[in-house]
Structure 1
Amino acid sequence: MSRSRAAITALAVALLALLPATTARASDSPSAGERIANALRASWVYVDASYATAVPPSRQRQLAREIDRTGLPIKVVLTPLTKGDDFDGEADVLADVVRDRLPQRELILITTDGTFTDSLNGYEWPADTHQTRDAVAAAGFLDEMRDAGLAELTSKAVELVAEGNGTEVYEEAMGDLEASPDPEERTEAESSWPTWPAVAAVAALALTALLLLARHRRRTPASALFTAARAADEDALRRRAEAEVVALGESARTTDSTAPGLRRALDAYAAAGTVLDAARGLPDLAGVLALVTEGRDALANTPDPLPLCFFNPLHGRGTRLVTWRPLGRRDRVRVAACTPCVAAARTRRSPEVLTDGDAVPYFEVPGSFWAATGYGSLLRGGDSLAARVARGDFTRGVRGENG
């Protein structure tokens, strides 16, 4: 064996000998979920270093004493959540990961929120016995907590969970927010609330600036990239809608023929197919999902189900009703909204809305079937999306949009 080959062989053997130790050291490094769970085994409260100023060690110990006095299995996790992190920026994922790594069966978990950094989320297992979800959500809507810091907000959430009437407190807080202000307050509120044209104008200017910058830096036009991205979203949503319609049809086919909601489910299935065949963009495809939801509710014979989120049905089913005043009108309507959109609307922030191909909120498109129905939120008295599609409202709406 040549001297060079011997040296290479010796180096390879040395590297192989190092591999097990290297692998072991890598596997010894705990994941973020394990690190948080390990900390919670020794304390009621985990606070990430980035929040150490807002919730210093002395305040953490105080929170731990407050939790201890409740006698409840409450754990608190205050950590930033961003897309791409170990939890993909989702508080629900964080909660599930931490719960899976803790030994106790009964657990109440209070965490930071991935969408609104100044909000908290509440979770309880095996059941929401202490109304934890509503109690924690209510803490952020109380007048006394308007300028509270993260530590004070967490303390209030713990207090409301211990009281056990979180749903009542939440509904009272929401009722206070929905109460109509006096004329002077209304004028001030309406002048400070950004109207959709103003939001659209700012967004258009920002988008224009981005497009110009992108054209300067790259040969590929930014407008083409934007169009391609929206087309990709539309293609993915179309595939999802097709799968949902097929699944609804299968569920209806295997349902007992005497089931009370079968006829309505079949009507929703037929309407979803009609809309899917004629769908020309995201709002129509979202309508397919709304019709599928209507059909599934019929099969389950769900009493008074909330429709999909009015502001953006792609957010999923609405969790609450919120009072909303359409642009340019004095009257208000009650619409279903997902939790983030409820929070945005009630604190005078603009919810993330579904737009058409021209970046116009769907509910501002003249003659739109979806603007008239709000994906179910604006229907009253037993009316349904399926019934309106069956009588031709959707196809007339499409013609109106084209006109």
Structure 2
Amino acid sequence: MSSDVKRLIAVLAAALLAVVPAATARASDHTPSAGERIADALHTSPVYVDDAYATAVPPSQQRQLAAQIKKTGLPIKVVLTPLTKGDGFDGDSDVLADVVHDRLPQHQLILITADGDFPDTLNGYEWPSDTHQTEDAVAATAFLDETREAGLADLTAKAVGLVAEGDGTRVYEEATKDLRDSSSSESDHAAKSSSGGSISWLWLLIAVPAFAALVLTGGRLAFRRRSRTAAAGVPQLVFATARAADEAELRRRAETEVLALGEATQEASPDRTPGLQQALDAYAAAGTVLDAARGVPDLAGVLALVAEGEDALSGAAPLPLCFFNPLHGRSTTRTTRTTWRPLGRRDRLRVATCPECATALADRRAPDVLTDTAPDGRTVPYFEIPAQRSVWAATGFGSYGPNGSLAERVNLGDFTRSLS
């Protein structure tokens, strides 16, 4: 071999030795994502438990779960990791499930995960279809008497067992039967109470001002608005219960604010309050709607009427509530309206919007809208209800602009006519 060839081989060898460490270093610089770490761990064990849950589900119980899963013969994987807003899955168990599913090379998969919205509950997912009734089976564990006080390990073991039995829907329906019956009874009771003799708000204002003052000193009740996007693995009854609780809380808030407006009109001086009559009209209209309110849209209407009455008392130019969802609060300005074209229509509307909805429209995102029940039973944005059947759809809760007082329309009978 010539000396020139030897020198060439030496140069190439040196270059190769220089490249390999660099490539290895670049590979070692890669930090695996949370999804990658979980998927990698699931290749060796069907149970992944984050360190945050190591006390609740120690290694011994992890091994027991893995053995239980093996006996079922099903492609079950368990992922128990805390979910919080802003983490690698944005606190959403749906995102976690999709990420894990995408990273696992198997056509059939049953996945049991922790839930990001409701502590101490689990979600169930199955691909390519819910053959083993996984969603209902896992959801049922939140309502069974035997798991009411169970720890996370026992709760997961029960979920695995129910999935293996393949009868999760029946178990879920039986476990929640009493809750559904109780909810129906309470709804009937509330309907009878609201229809049986309306309370005179003027009498309340005169007879129990001390009660109103006591309520007001505690501050106005805060209304917690829940997201309307139901995660696929969360029991639907949980969301139904949450909506019922929010409606009850909203009704209490509406009652408090109507009483507050009534007290303010009583204390106002006619000589110094040019808008006193308009405030009294809004107060009367709010009481009418509150007495006959059948759901969240009507209760939102009560708040819109209270806002109208407050503006009349203060003498300020009207500042309507957000068109898309009046529960968002006041619009951005008193004069500026946002141009918006409803889906499937050519005409454009100029509506008042809260800052969040204005930003969503600017970013070409769908705003969070208040929904109502259409005549055919579908849940639709409230403004899609025929105007003759909803004063709120006809007026946008007062957001459409200076087209007359919302209170005036209610007091003229537009609200009660829509109830018939």
TM-score where L is the length of structure 2: 0.49
Cα distance, 1:44 vs structure 2: 1.3
Structure 2: any 5+ residue segments left out of the alignment? Answer: 1-18, 190-213, 259-295, 305-322, 327-369, 399-403, 409-420
Q: Deviations over 1:273-321 (max 9, x none)?
A: xxxxxxxxxxxxxxxxxxxxxxxxxxxxxxxxxxxxxx75x6147989x
* Mapping of residues 222-371 of structure 1, within 5 Å: 315-316=228-229, 341-342=239-240, 344=242, 363-366=298-301
1:81·1:88 contact (CA, 8 Å) conserved in 2? yes
Give the corresponding residue for 2:387.
Answer: 389
Amino acid at match of 1:79: T
- For residues 130-163 of structure 1, the C-alpha deviation after alignment (integer angstroms, 9 at most, x for no partner) is 1111111111111221111111111111111111
Q: How many residues align?
A: 250
Aligned to 1:296: none
In the alignment, is residue 43 of structure 1 matched against residue 45 of structure 2? yes
Structure 2 residue matching 1:82: 3-state secondary structure: coil
| Pair 1:173-2:175 in alignment | yes
Paired AA for residue 71 in structure 2? R
Contact 2:46-2:66 within 8 A present in 1 as well: yes
Cα separation, 2, equivalents of 1:34 and 1:383: 39
Residue 160 (structure 1) aligns with:
162
1:24 maps to which residue? 27
**1:117 aligned onto 2:119:** yes
**Change beyond 3 A, Cα 1:206–1:343:** closer
Contact 1:315 / 1:338 at 8 angstroms: preserved in 2? Answer: no
Q: Deviations over 1:222-276 (max 9, x none)?
A: xxxxxxxxxxxxxxxxxxxxxxxxxxxxxxxxxxxxxxxxxxxxxxxxxxxxxxx
- Secondary structure of the 1:158 match is helix
Instruction: Say if 1:350 and 1:65 are closer, same or farther in 2 by CA, change over 3 A.
Output: farther
Aligned in 2, Cα 1:44/1:139: closer, same or farther, shift over 3 Å?
same
Contact 2:371-2:379 at 8 Å conserved across structures: no
The one-letter code sitting in structure 2 at the alignment partner of 1:108 is: I
Counterpart contact for 2:112–2:123, Cα < 8 Å: yes
* Alpha-carbon distance, 1:179 to partner: 2.6
User: In 1, Cα distance between the equivalents of 2:153 and 2:138?
Assistant: 13
Which range is displaced more, 168-177 or 157-166?
Answer: 168-177
Structure 2 SS opposite 1:75: strand
Decide whether the 8 Å contact of 2:77 with 2:111 is kept in 1. Answer: yes
Specify every segment of 5 or more residues in structure 1 that has no aligned partner in the other structure, as ranges: 1-15, 187-197, 208-310, 321-336
Structure 1 residues 135 and 17 mapped into 2: Cα distance closer, same or farther (>3 Å)?
Answer: closer
How many angstroms apart in 2 are the aligned matches of 1:123 and 1:103?
16
For residue 32 of structure 1, report the CA deviation from its aligned partner: 1.2
Between the aligned partners of 1:390 and 1:51, the Cα distance in structure 2 is 55
Name the SS of the counterpart of 2:79 in structure 1. Answer: strand
Pick closer, same or farther for the CA change 1:388–1:108 going to 2, 3 Å.
same
C-alpha distance after superposition, 1:42-94 (max 9, x if no partner): 11111111101111111111111111111111000000011111111111111
Deviation at 1:402, TM superposition (A): 4.8
Distance 1:25 1:45, change over 3 A: same
Q: Distance in 2 between matches of 1:113 and 1:106?
A: 22
C-alpha contact (below 8 Å) 2:56/2:153 kept by paired residues = yes
User: Partners in 2 of 1:73 and 1:350 — Cα distance?
Assistant: 41
Q: 1:149 is matched with which residue?
A: 151
Paired residue secondary structure (1:94): helix
Letter in 1 for 2:299: E
**TM-score calculated relative to the size of structure 1:** 0.51
1:42 counterpart SS class: coil
Partners of 1:350 and 1:53 lie apart in 2 by 38
- CA 1:32/1:19 → structure 2, altered by over 3 Å: closer, same or farther? same
Instruction: Confirm or deny: 8 A CA contact 1:48 1:80 kept in the other structure.
Output: yes
Match of 1:241 in 2: none
Q: Which moved more, 1:88-97 or 1:168-177?
A: 168-177
Q: Percent identity?
A: 50
Give the SS at the match of 1:315. coil
1:105 aligns to 2:40 (yes or no): no
In the alignment, residue 169 of structure 2 is paired with which amino acid? T
